[in-house]
């Protein structure tokens, strides 16, 4: 392939989505990826309705539905109270053709996208190629990776929270980091017979958690439990399977042990880049914003960035639009990141961990009332399913 007009750094879900839509629009892409394959640690697993809508025409949604678990309901629970509120996403069928979440791990989605990209002569990927610097001039960008350098008209930084692309342009990344890390424990235990939906949030002043079903590598699926840790807990203890089992027993005691198949520990941040566009450099996904995983929004939002930037960049490269269109990408997506992604995920965590008993009682009552009143339930799910944010952003000029 001759020098591609666009280099994408990072083959995560955001970068692969941008590549997929650029190539589909006839724009060749060179992708640089630090790893030697698609990264498959257990991170995002929830796909929301707008993401399914954006992938529908291309046939990707049908493939996600083949691999994923359709979750029509999600629950808000109290650790001691049990089910507090049950939200039925089918109420959104007046608004979307996909009134549900799909539980499908991000590496599965990445592989679906990669399998399509591999078929195109307009796509090239260089594995084991960590970008270490990006410079730009009036005519283009240069990305270096060790002794090699690559030239293009534009670069998309999709290289995750520690983005070299963002840092190389000295773009600030303001926000904060939570003192507690989140532990993800994957178990074979099936929570459904105990009354859980495929997607659940458990509130508790000390031991809140999020519990989800994922396809995993077995026909019956697997369940993931995400919960906070305290800063003094040692990483090796937290990751130890026996201690993870004890932790689950303290959370939800059961006879017989929990079979643990995986543990993972994450630092959690709330940050947004000061701009998503600097000249010929564009940022998407975790390179542009990071947030806590409660509500399952980070990957979805990165995909929405990718859909937006690829459409605008394709129009600019094909001479159909002025490059000021890329400023619109920045305005729309950065506003959405602040007003919806940061706001909603910070609020999701506050609701789960509320310590003040009076305030906690009010929050639980509020959830109960929201789920039982169809008008309020609809409004709540418009926000938590990311539909409202997508609509508001589309109206920004």
Ligand X SMILES: Cc1cc2nc3c(=O)[nH]c(=O)nc-3n(C[C@H](O)[C@H](O)[C@H](O)COP(=O)(O)OP(=O)(O)OC[C@H]3O[C@@H](n4cnc5c(N)ncnc54)[C@H](O)[C@@H]3O)c2cc1C
Interactions with ligand X, residue window 170-199 (CB under 6 A): 182, 184
Residue 369 near residue 376 (C-beta atoms within 8 A): yes
- Stretch 29-68 residues interacting with ligand X (CB under 6 A): 32-35, 39, 43-46
The answer to the question of residue 14 lying near ligand X (CB under 6 A) is: yes
- CA 280 from centroid of its chain's CA atoms: 25
Query: Which residue, 28 or 298, is less far from ligand X as judged by CB?
Result: 298
**Beta-sheet strand order (sheet of 260-266):** 82-88, 73-78, 199-203, 209-214, 222-228, 182-187, 260-266
Residues 263-292 that bind ligand X (CB under 6 A): 266, 285-286
Q: With beta carbons less than 8 A apart as the criterion, state whether 369 and 86 touch.
A: no
CB of 281 to ligand X, least distance (A): 14
Dihedral pair phi/psi, residue 134, rounded to 5°:
-135, 130
Half-sphere exposure at residue 137, Cβ-oriented, CA atoms within 13 angstroms = 4
**Stretch 108-167 residues interacting with ligand X (CB under 6 A):** 130-131, 158-160, 164
Residue 32 or 281: the one with the smaller Cβ distance to ligand X is: 32
Least Å from the CB of residue 343 to ligand X: 16
In the complex, the smallest distance separating the C-beta of residue 320 from ligand X, rounded to whole angstroms, is 27
Among 15, 49, 50, 215, binds ligand X (CB under 6 A): 15
Q: Which is nearer to ligand X, 76 or 364 (CB)?
A: 76
Min. distance of Cβ 154 from ligand X in angstroms?
16
Q: Is 10 in the site for ligand X (CB under 6 A)?
A: yes
Cβ closest to ligand X, residue 73 vs residue 368: 73
Which one of residues 5, 12, 49, 389 is an interface residue with ligand X (CB under 6 A)? 12
* β-bridge mates for residue 281, sequence order: 155, 278
Residue with Cβ nearer ligand X (182 or 276): 182
Among 4, 9, 314, 367, binds ligand X (CB under 6 A): 9
Least distance to ligand X, CB of residue 224, Å: 8
Out of 5, 215, 228, 298, point to the residue binding ligand X (CB under 6 A). Answer: 298
The Cα–Cα gap between 296 and 111 comes to: 19
Residue choice 300, 344, 348, 385 for contact with ligand X (CB under 6 A): 300
List the x/- string, 236-265, binding to ligand X by CB under 6 A: ------------------------------
302 binds ligand X (CB under 6 A): yes
* Closest distance to ligand X from the beta carbon of 313 (Å): 17
Would you tell me which residues interact with ligand X (CB under 6 A)?
Answer: 9-15, 32-35, 39, 43-46, 106, 130-131, 158-160, 164, 182, 184, 226, 266, 285-286, 293, 296-300, 302
């Amino acid at each position: 392939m001759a020098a591609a007009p666009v280099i994408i750094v990072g083959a995560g879900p955001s970068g692969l989505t941008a590549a997929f839509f650029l190539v589909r629009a006839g724009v060749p892409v060179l992708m640089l990826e630090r790893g030697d394959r698609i990264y498959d640690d257990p991170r995002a697993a929830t796909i929301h309705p707008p993401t399914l809508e954006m992938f529908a025409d291309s046939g990707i949604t049908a493939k996600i539905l083949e691999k994923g678990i359709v979750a029509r309901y999600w629950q808000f629970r109290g650790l001691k109270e049990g089910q507090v509120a049950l939200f039925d996403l089918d109420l959104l069928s007046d608004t979307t053709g996909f009134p549900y979440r799909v539980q499908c791990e991000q590496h599965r989605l990445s592989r679906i996208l990669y399998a399509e990209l591999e078929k195109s002569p307009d796509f090239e990927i260089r594995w084991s190629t960590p970008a270490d610097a990006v410079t730009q001039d009036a005519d283009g960008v240069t990305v270096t990776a060790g002794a090699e350098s690559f030239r293009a008209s534009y670069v998309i930084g999709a290289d995750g929270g520690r983005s070299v692309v963002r840092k190389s342009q000295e773009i600030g990344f303001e926000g904060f980091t939570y003192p507690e890390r989140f532990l993800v424990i994957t178990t074979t235990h099936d929570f459904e017979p105990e009354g859980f939906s495929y997607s659940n949030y458990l509130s508790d002043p000390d031991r809140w958690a999020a519990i989800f079903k994922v396809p995993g590598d077995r026909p019956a699926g697997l369940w993931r439990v995400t919960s906070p840790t305290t800063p003094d807990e040692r990483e090796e203890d937290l990751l130890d399977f026996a201690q993870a089992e004890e932790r689950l027993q303290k959370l939800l005691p059961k006879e017989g042990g929990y079979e643990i198949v995986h543990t993972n520990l994450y630092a959690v941040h709330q940050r947004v880049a000061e701009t998503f566009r600097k000249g010929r450099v564009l940022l998407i996904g975790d390179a542009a914003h990071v947030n806590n995983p409660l509500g399952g929004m980070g990957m979805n939002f990165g995909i929405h960035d990718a859909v937006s930037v690829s459409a605008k960049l394709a129009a600019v490269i094909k001479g159909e639009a002025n490059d000021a269109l890329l400023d619109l990408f920045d305005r729309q997506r950065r506003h959405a990141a602040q007003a919806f992604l940061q706001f909603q995920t910070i609020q999701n965590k506050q609701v789960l961990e509320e310590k003040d008993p009076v305030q906690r009682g009010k929050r639980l009552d509020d959830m109960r009332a929201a789920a039982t009143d169809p008008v309020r339930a609809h409004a709540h799910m418009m926000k938590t399913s990311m539909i409202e944010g997508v609509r508001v952003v589309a109206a920004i000029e």
